[in-house]
Amino acid sequence: MSPQDPRGPVDEWRAGWWQAARAVPSPNFGPRPAGVAIDLVVLHSISLPPGEYGGDAIERLFTNTLDWSAHPYYAGIRGLEVSAHFVIRRDGAVLQFVSCDDRAWHAGRSSWLGRENCNDFAIGIELEGLEGERFEPAQYAQLARLLQAIGRAYPVRAVAGHEHVAPGRKRDPGPGFDWAAVDGVAAAQGWDLPAGTSRA
């Protein structure tokens, strides 16, 4: 079981699953290395097809049930097996695909403060959106709520974007993401933000 903070509801987390999210279990995960602290949150953006919102393609991608012939874009990602711990939809709905106690497949080749393979020690959160475009107020509200819940259960020390842990390879969540919207939550919990964001 995940560690519990007495300030949070007793049943807020169950075996790494946040009870406020809709569980959509993905087969794309593995064990974290023994003794590794879960101390980083990595923020991403995703939309399938790019720039289209509201469908079930993200869920299908993360559960290996995407119809590769449903859109021309899918030919370029055919066979991809990926996941994130959470997805926050445009309307603020939160889906969880992998227990936070397990290793989701979201960051790929990455590093943070000299440590390689961020998937080993990070929780991945996808915001439904497109690099460079703005995100919705409902998403920021739910992200703040989720980050606070994560802070009650895990020894997180920093929040970064995919662009920060895989610079030059990834650009999400991109310039449309408002880092000031998470600054207060991060500051209240003593978490670091990447250089060049609102508190840096």
Closest among 152, 170, 153, 150 to 162, alpha carbons compared = 170
Q: Is 163 a catalytic residue?
A: no
Q: What is the pTM of this model?
A: 0.94
Q: Cβ atoms within 10 A of the Cβ of 158, count?
A: 18
Closest by CA position to 178, among listed 21, 45, 87, 38 = 45
Contact by Cβ (8 Å): 85, 104: yes
Please report, for residues 38, 51, 55, 105, 115, the alpha-carbon distance to residue 82 in angstroms, rounded to integers and kept in the order given. 19, 19, 18, 5, 21
Write down the catalytic residue from 59, 126, 128, 131: 126
What letter would DSSP give residue 161? E
Helical (H) or strand (E) element with 159:
strand 158-161
Structure tokens at 99: 């227990």
Instruction: Show the domains of the chain with their CATH numbers.
Output: 13-188 (3.40.80.10)
Helix axes 180-188, 137-153, angle to 10 degrees: 20
Please give the chain's pLDDT, 200 residues, in tens: 344 444 455 589 999 999 999 999 999 999 999 999 999 999 999 999 999 999 999 999 999 999 999 999 999 999 999 999 999 999 999 999 999 999 999 999 999 999 999 999 999 999 999 998 999 999 999 999 999 999 999 999 999 999 999 999 999 999 999 999 999 999 999 999 998 886 44
